[in-house]
Structure 1
Amino acid sequence: MSVLAPVRRDRIITELPQCFHKEAALHSRSSFHPQVTGACQEQRTGTVGFKISKIIVVGDLSVGKTCLINRFCKDTFDKNYKATIGVDFEMERFEVLGVPFSLQLWDTAGQERFKCIASTYYRGAQGEVPGLTAQGPWLADALKENDPSNVILFLVGSKKDLSPPAQYSLMERDAIKVAKEMQAEYWAVSSLTGENVREFFFRVASLTFESSVLAELEKSSARKIGDVVRIHSTDSDLYLTAQRRKSKCCL
């Protein structure tokens, strides 16, 4: 019997959510990778449906990390919330292309005095979401605990509602430039109004799922190749042994 919570109807993903801006996207494909789609249809996703993928949200104090997570997970916004002490997390269950998939969203404290505490929870992250104003030291610390090639980065401007259109246009231009330098995908959201919050987390879940399935397929392929090599080696050993025995007989 499963100990995981059932998937809510509003957490079902049947198509790849599109990126926020094509100039700063991890990729701009309109659909999931064909290998991922095929694996899901053939139920060849291995252990992906049983694993929990770790997403950490990092950034300075008051950039909107907690409000962002609360808006998605609880559909609430509290302008008087208390600053996070240490770390906190929420668990979200999705169904992606018919496969259950779990995300653990880690909300880390932004105060410098909690930096050493938060850093202990960075290890094992598959996705990282730095705030737009704090992509420097927090992100660097998080990447120290993980292989950068196995981490998906998102750069988020979390208070879109506070910027007038003209000012936002200039900020977005700078943000896209920073995202490109970081090799991250850029999103602008508003935790106050909920604008783009659901779309952003669906994108995070989908790209993390896609990466996990591709990694599982690669492992499966490597195991098959290894088995073939071992079989061929065994056959060769047997053949060589037989040849030696035959030679001895001839002598």
Structure 2
Amino acid sequence: MLPPVKKDRIITQLPQCFSPNAALHTKDGFHPQVKAACQVQKTGTVSFNIAKVIVVGDVAVGKTCLISRFRKGAFEKNYKATIGVDFEMERFEVLGVPFSLQLWDTAGQERFKCIASTYYRGAQAIIVVFDLSSVNSLAHARQWLEDAMKENDPSSVLLFLVGTKKDLSSPDQLAHVEQEAIRLSEEIKAEYWAVSAYGVRDFFFRVASLTFEANVLSELEKTGSRNFGDIISDTENNHKPIKRSSNCC
């Protein structure tokens, strides 16, 4: 039997977006159908609902650091470059329902791209990471997204564009890069976030909440009046988020 979800991984309200100018949506709460479905589900009848999330971006932009900061609550000074892909599982409880994110940390080095790309398929969310102090890493973000989308349906994936090392950028540089990042996020239909030592927890709570909501809405649409406990059970093996339009690539 799996241990209970940690108290600091319980989500009862939809976390707010980072920037209303570059968000997947700006509503204040979960969809009414999602809240209603979660209210009627019976405790103990629900299996784990799992979403696959892949994290891509240039080498040394902070992908591993981003995940580690959320999971361990601290930054580690010395990181080795990821070889191929690393995998972490993070458990949540969203509106009373167990939910897990599979976090796939992929290599940013060119020679490992072929290995990492084999793990792109079946993603429900793609996090494209860039360094706010490096304009080049932002310029490469589009290519990373295009590579990841070769293995996924663009209309079935939630996209997030995340700038790291916010505290290392000068105010002028940060303003310029963020302006370009928001422009790109609007173009590729992604939600933009900027993080440093702060904001990481809020970001991953947002990812968990939006992927959970998309899963439930998609399953409700497919199954109609079926019992919600059955819906969550099914999504463990068949998890697709709600369809949405995208012209990212």
Q: Does TM, scored on the shorter chain, surpass 0.5?
A: yes
CA distance in 2, matches of 1:71, 1:89: 15
**Structure 1 counterpart of 2:215:** 212
Q: State the 1:43 CA deviation.
A: 1.2
**Structure 1 counterpart of 2:203:** 200
Q: Give 3-state SS (helix, strand or coil) of 1:61's partner.
A: coil
Q: Which whole-Å deviations, capped at 9, do the CAs of 1:11-38 have from their partners, x for residues lacking one? A: 0000000000000000000000111011
CA distance in 2, matches of 1:171, 1:145: 29
Matched to 1:70, the amino acid is S
Alignment partner of 1:166 out of 142, 156, 172: 172
CA-based RMSD: 1.9
**Structure 2 counterpart of 1:123:** 121
Q: State the 1:48 CA deviation.
A: 7.6
CA distance in 2, matches of 1:81, 1:139: 24
Q: Give 3-state SS (helix, strand or coil) of 2:124's partner.
A: strand
Matched to 1:94, the amino acid is F
CA distance in 2, matches of 1:25, 1:57: 18
Consecutive unaligned residues of structure 1, counting only runs of 5 or more, are 225-251
CA distance in 1, matches of 2:184, 2:164: 15
Kindly indicate which of the two structures has a greater share of residues assigned to helix: 1
Checking the alignment, whether the CA contact within 8 Å between 1:5 and 1:93 is kept in structure 2 is no
| Superposition TM-score, scaled by structure 2 size | 0.83
**Structure 2 counterpart of 1:20:** 18
Q: Which whole-Å deviations, capped at 9, do the CAs of 1:175-198 have from their partners, x for residues lacking one? A: 1001001100000001xx2x1100
Q: State the 1:204 CA deviation.
A: 0.2
Matched to 1:65, the amino acid is K
- Per mean C-alpha deviation after superposition, the further-off stretch among 106-115 and 127-136 is 127-136
**Structure 1 counterpart of 2:64:** 66
Matched to 1:83, the amino acid is A
Which is greater in Rg?
Answer: 1
Percent identity of equivalent pairs: 69
Q: State the 1:78 CA deviation.
A: 1.9
**Structure 2 counterpart of 1:99:** 97
Consecutive unaligned residues of structure 2, counting only runs of 5 or more, are 131-136, 228-249
CA distance in 2, matches of 1:201, 1:131: 13
Instruction: Tell me whether 1:187 sits opposite 2:193 in the alignment.
Output: yes
